[in-house]
Structures are given as C-alpha cells and as structure tokens.
Amino acid sequence: MTKRKPKQLGQILLEQGLITNEQLERALGEHRSTARSLGRTLIDLGYIRERDLVMALAEQVGLDFVDLSEHQIDPLAATLLPEQLARRYRALPIGERDGKLLVAMSDPANVFALDDIRAITNRDVQPIVATASDVERAIAKFGGMGDQVEALASEASSKLEAAWPTGRRTCTSSPTSGTSGSGSGWTACSTRSCTRRRTSRTA
C-alpha cells in the first residue's frame, strides 16, 4: 500500500479558510527570500495567529491539538516532570488517555524530549500539540507543584513523628534470651517501653 503524503502547511490553511491563495503566494515569496519558516512568515504578515499555525501543524503530523487555556490540567500529572526539563522541552504532562501519559508539547517531533520524558516518568507517552505560549504559562502555573508536594509530605512526616508517643517507639536494643518450650512464641525485649510483644509463659 502506498503511504499517503502529508498535506502541505499552505494547503491545510487554505482548506481551513484561514488564508487566501494571494496571501499564501505572498508568504511563499517572502519565505523563499528569508530564513524564516513559512508559518512564521504567515504570522509576521498578520495572516494567521500562533494558535492557527499550531493547529495546522498538528493536523499535518496527525496529532491532536489542545488549547491549554480551556483544558483542565491534572496537577498530579504535571508534577511528574521536573520543571527544569519541562521548560527545556516546552512540554508538560496534563493527564492520561488510554493508559498513557498525555503530554502537551510545542514540538512533538522532538524525539529526544519524548525519550527523556518516557525515561523520567517511566510511562508510555502520548504527545499532544499546544502553542509554546500556552505550554510556558501552564509550566509557570504548575511547574513548581512537585516541590510543594514534597515539602508538604516532609512536613506531614515530621508532624507525625513528633506526635508519636515516645513510650511507644520501637526500640533497637538487643532482645533478651528467648525462652524455650512450647509456651514461647515471641522473643522478649528487655526495654519496658518497647512495642515488641513479650513472651507470655504459663508456669
């Protein structure tokens, strides 16, 4: 079976009614004479917005587009990727789909980023396309939550340890010699406050 050739960016934008043939021709002319990409040229000319471009690129590569300003992000998923890496790759986990970690990315073609995210999260990853500005705003909002979760867990652990009665702590002293016979099922401890069960033996 012959593999279908992906649509050109200009064709997608024309089909979506976002630009005219005249606008495309002008943008192509400027694109060929400069180092700018066609998409960036169309944005600079004011013909499309960043969101329009990213949606078209998502369609071109066969991925879904997500508007992060309207999507409810799972805070726990967002903490799975360290903020430093999230900023480097402009990527943020936002939830799950079909057992895979859903990751919003401005550049889903970055295979190195995808490999790192899989390794760090130890999860299968499903990339989804979002604008770079949306991803950066979401990282600014959720990126520091991982540190906050760790801090809260540490604080809760400290409070629990402080509240635990001293007399109920399990000691680390050496047990006394075990008693023999069928009546001894546990080893006795020489510390009175130890929580370890003592041997009870009937005469």
Distances (CA, A) of 162 to 102, 157, 173: 39, 9, 21
Residue among 86, 73, 187, 80 at smallest CA distance from 139: 86
| Edge-to-edge strands, sheet with 125-129 | 91-97, 100-105, 125-129
**φ and ψ of 149, to 5 deg:** -60, -45
The residue ranges of every structural domain in the chain are 9-61, 75-151
Inform me whether the pLDDT recorded for 73 exceeds 90: yes
Most confident of 14-23, 29-38, 145-154: 14-23
Give yes or no for residue 3 having a pLDDT over 90. no
Percentage of the residues of the chain whose pLDDT score is greater than 90: 64
Tell me the backbone φ, ψ of residue 52, rounded to 5 degrees: -60, -45
At residue 35, the pLDDT reads 85
What does the pLDDT read at residue 188? 46
The total number of residues shown for the chain amounts to: 203
Residue 164 confidence (pLDDT): 57
Calculate the average pLDDT of the chain: 80
What values do phi and psi take at 14, rounded to 5?
-65, -45
User: What is the per-residue pLDDT across 142-182, written as a single tens digit (0 to 9) for each?
Assistant: 976 655 545 444 454 555 566 655 444 445 545 544 444 44
What b-and-e string marks burial along 107-138, b requiring 16 or more CB atoms within 10 Å of the CB?
Answer: ebebeebbebbeeeeebebbbbbbbeebbbeb
> Residue 5: its pLDDT value, please?
75
Look at 36-50, 121-135, 163-177 and tell me which has the smallest mean pLDDT. Answer: 163-177
Chain mean position to CA 66: 15
Q: What is the pLDDT of residues 80-107, one digit of tens each?
A: 999 999 999 999 999 999 999 999 999 9
Topology at the third CATH level for domain 75-151: GMP Synthetase; Chain A, domain 3 (3.30.300)
Tell me the mean pLDDT in the region 71-80: 95
Query: Is the distance from CB of 36 to CB of 44 less than 8 angstroms?
Result: yes
- The answer to whether the beta carbons of residues 54 and 11 sit under 8 Å apart is no
pLDDT at 143: 77
Q: What are phi and psi of 125, to 5 degrees?
A: -115, 135
